[in-house]
Amino acid sequence: MRAEYQDGFVIVIRRFQPLDFQQVMEIEEEAFSEHNPYFYMQFYELNADTFLVAERGGNVLGFAVGLQVSGLGKVFSISVRKGYRGMGIGGMLLESLIRIFHNMGLAGVALEVRDSNYRARLFYEKHGFVRVGLCQNYYSDGENALLMRRVL
């Protein structure tokens, strides 16, 4: 996927490559409190088709990590660099991932999101996800996760 903004700003969505690792870790660290670089290299080794980045002229501005669980696609994490949010980059990453899951013949996409992450919840709702449950004490700090799902 490729998007060209009016000011000539071009964003390309492509598969993650090991050279992106450091930039992905920077974005991950600024967004999430539970930071685990080891997961990401494992995702690359096991789910290279569903590990995507948004790139602009060599700079990684966001990433999305997906995997397959019990016949469903799962969004493990998605994040956009601060200062570049609200420009449609997260939406491009999410829709690209959903298209890949669809092409894999999966029936739906599931995810968990922090109860307090209002922006992300709105973002997912905007992309057709609906709340299907609640998982108590899901995160290590005791916060609940909302379970959301979208049919493909």
Ligand X SMILES: CC(C)(COP(=O)(O)OP(=O)(O)OC[C@H]1O[C@@H](n2cnc3c(N)ncnc32)[C@H](O)[C@@H]1OP(=O)(O)O)[C@@H](O)C(=O)NCCC(=O)NCCS
Question: By the criterion CB under 6 A, which residues form the site for ligand X?
Answer: 31, 77-80, 85-91, 113, 117, 119-120, 122-123, 126
CA separation for the pair 120, 35 (Å, rounded): 18
CA separation for the pair 57, 102 (Å, rounded): 29
Q: Least distance (Å) from ligand X to the CB of residue 48?
A: 20
Tally of CB atoms within 10 A around 60: 21
Q: 41: burial class by Cβ within 10 Å (0-12, 13-18, 19+)?
A: exposed
The phi, psi pair for 46, rounded to 5°, reads -100, -25
Q: Least distance (Å) from ligand X to the CB of residue 61?
A: 9
CA separation for the pair 49, 137 (Å, rounded): 31
Which residue's CB is nearer to ligand X, number 82 or number 142? 82
Cβ(10)–Cβ(55) under 8 Å?
no
Q: Least distance (Å) from ligand X to the CB of residue 64?
A: 8
Q: Least distance (Å) from ligand X to the CB of residue 46?
A: 19
Q: Least distance (Å) from ligand X to the CB of residue 75?
A: 7
